[in-house]
Amino acid sequence: MDIASFRALLAPSGQAVLSEASAADLSEDGLLGTATRLRERHDPALVAAALTQVRLRERARAKFGADAGRMYFTQAGLEQATRASVAAHRARRFAARLDGARVLELGCGIGADLLARGRAGLAGEGVELDPLTAEVARANVAVFGLDAPVRVGDATKVSLDGAALDEFDALFADPGRRTARGRVFDPRSYEPPLDAVLDMAAKVPAACVKVAPGIPHEAVPDSAEAEWISVHGDVKEAALWLGGLAGDVERRATLLSSDIDPEVSTLTPQGLDDPDVRAWGRYLYEPDGAVIRAHLVGEVAQLVDGGLADSHIAYITSDRLRPTPFATAYEVEDVMPFSVKRLRAELRRRGIGVLTVKKRGSAVDVDRLRRDLGFGGRKAGRGAQELTLVVTRVGRDPVALLTRPVPGR
């Protein structure tokens, strides 16, 4: 899709083609049939642009829910966009600290964060290097009736000393981490590079920079608050909060229970000693990934009155069942030295038909283990019972735990 076709799509005749394409059968065969019919009456480039949007909107539902049906995307823009629930959480943090502030976004993509801040009452602007992506962001801003101009330009060349920047109270940046060479992990390879963004952030009163959840703690600036965010147990990203936006803690884990109307749970460091190392108890707790990334496993161990079976592995064990959003609880039925032969016999004896395998601190290949235990591919075991097999180690000893998830935990 080029800019001319996208602009044509936004014109009234393009909108008519888009609604006709959206109302048709959305299966791939259906879309191909629709494309053939539409091409008889309309410019093929316009029809292709409409079909692209219909496909992208379908894929975007996972991130944007019903709003996806009104928004515009590029493929890369959709892949890189912040999901709506996380963007809304971030926007609420901006609004709580900087009520009515104007925020400049460096590299705004298709505008998912821009929209969320606009909806939270924050005015601002975006700068975007790619002209088509900028055009798409403008269209999205217009769809929601927001006032957030998007300029095409290189964010690293935004004048920080010029009058233009004085108009803004804060910066936000979500540097690209998927380049033409694929996904990048080194913050120096972000686009723009993290160092360049942090240099700019240091020159304004407040800033937030979205980064990969795997960011090493050493890469977090001393004065920043780092926030790791998960949605329904999946770690999505980290954000560095700087200057007037940083909280009074150096790190936190924020858990959103779901994408729609999520409950938000926050955990911060409590200044605790390392958790106790102890024998396996009746319960195993698997901390949420955001808790692990934020190095807050000890805080969860305290919440559940537990300790670690191995000081290097983030499985908490406790004799008590303490409901917490920060970890999933499993009831431990058996603990045994890891042995495929013994496990196979035990699963058969227990009549296990559905097996979930989890591992931490073990080099075991889970697919191969499932096959070796008679649960390869779609094939289930012979029985009707369900079991969660946890493979880990204590010191150098490989251990298997036969567990069952505690309902609702």
Ligand X SMILES: C[S@@+](CC[C@H](N)C(=O)[O-])C[C@H]1O[C@@H](n2cnc3c(N)ncnc32)[C@H](O)[C@@H]1O
Number of residues engaging ligand X in binding (CB under 6 A): 22
* DSSP 8-state secondary structure symbol assigned to residue 1: -
Calpha distance 362→71 (Å, rounded) = 44
Q: How far is the CB of 110 from ligand X (least distance, A)?
A: 5
**Nearer to ligand X among residue 20 and residue 191 (C-beta):** 191
- Residue 111 as a binder of ligand X (CB under 6 A): the answer is yes
C-alpha distance across the termini of the chain, in Å: 46
Q: Contacts with ligand X in 64-103 (CB under 6 A)? A: 80-82
**Nearer to ligand X among residue 46 and residue 211 (C-beta):** 211
- Residue 129 as a binder of ligand X (CB under 6 A): the answer is yes
Q: How far is the CB of 12 from ligand X (least distance, A)?
A: 27
The strand pairing partners of 74, in sequence order, are none
- Residue 107 as a binder of ligand X (CB under 6 A): the answer is yes
Written as six digits, the tokens of 363 are 């080099």
Q: How far is the CB of 52 from ligand X (least distance, A)?
A: 17
Q: By the 8 A CB rule, do 163 and 199 touch?
A: no
Per DSSP, the residues of 361-372 read S----HHHHHHH
- Residue 108 as a binder of ligand X (CB under 6 A): the answer is yes
The strand pairing partners of 316, in sequence order, are 285, 308
Task: Please identify, among the stretches 30-38, 128-136, 225-233, 366-374, the one whose residues bind ligand X according to the rule CB under 6 A.
Answer: 128-136
Q: How far is the CB of 100 from ligand X (least distance, A)?
A: 21
Calpha distance 178→307 (Å, rounded) = 38
Written as six digits, the tokens of 389 are 């097999």
Q: How far is the CB of 242 from ligand X (least distance, A)?
A: 17
Interface residue with ligand X among 43, 58, 67, 130 (CB under 6 A) is: 130
- Residue 281 as a binder of ligand X (CB under 6 A): the answer is no
Q: How far is the CB of 172 from ligand X (least distance, A)?
A: 8
Instruction: State the Cα torsion 108-222-234-291 to the nearest 10°.
Output: -160
Distances from the Cα of 204 to the Cα of 22, 103, 107, 199, 246, angstroms: 44, 11, 17, 10, 13
Q: By the 8 A CB rule, do 286 and 330 touch?
A: yes
**Nearer to ligand X among residue 56 and residue 390 (C-beta):** 56
Summary count for the chain: helices (H), strands (E): 14, 18
Residue 275: strand, helix, or coil:
coil
Q: How far is the CB of 123 from ligand X (least distance, A)?
A: 17
- Residue 122 as a binder of ligand X (CB under 6 A): the answer is no
Give the residue among 384, 12, 409 at the shortest CA–CA distance from 20: 12
- Residue 291 as a binder of ligand X (CB under 6 A): the answer is no
- Residue 43 as a binder of ligand X (CB under 6 A): the answer is no
**Residue type at position 54:** V
Q: How far is the CB of 11 from ligand X (least distance, A)?
A: 24
**Nearer to ligand X among residue 129 and residue 316 (C-beta):** 129
Calpha distance 22→35 (Å, rounded) = 11
Task: Please identify, among the stretches 152-160, 181-189, 301-309, 318-326, the one whose residues bind ligand X according to the rule CB under 6 A.
Answer: 152-160
**Nearer to ligand X among residue 146 and residue 366 (C-beta):** 146
Q: By the 8 A CB rule, do 62 and 27 touch?
A: no
* DSSP 8-state secondary structure symbol assigned to residue 272: P
- Residue 237 as a binder of ligand X (CB under 6 A): the answer is no
- Residue 125 as a binder of ligand X (CB under 6 A): the answer is no
**Nearer to ligand X among residue 80 and residue 318 (C-beta):** 80
- Residue 245 as a binder of ligand X (CB under 6 A): the answer is no
Q: Which residues are near ligand X by CB under 6 A?
A: 80-82, 107-113, 127-130, 133, 154-156, 174, 176, 191-192
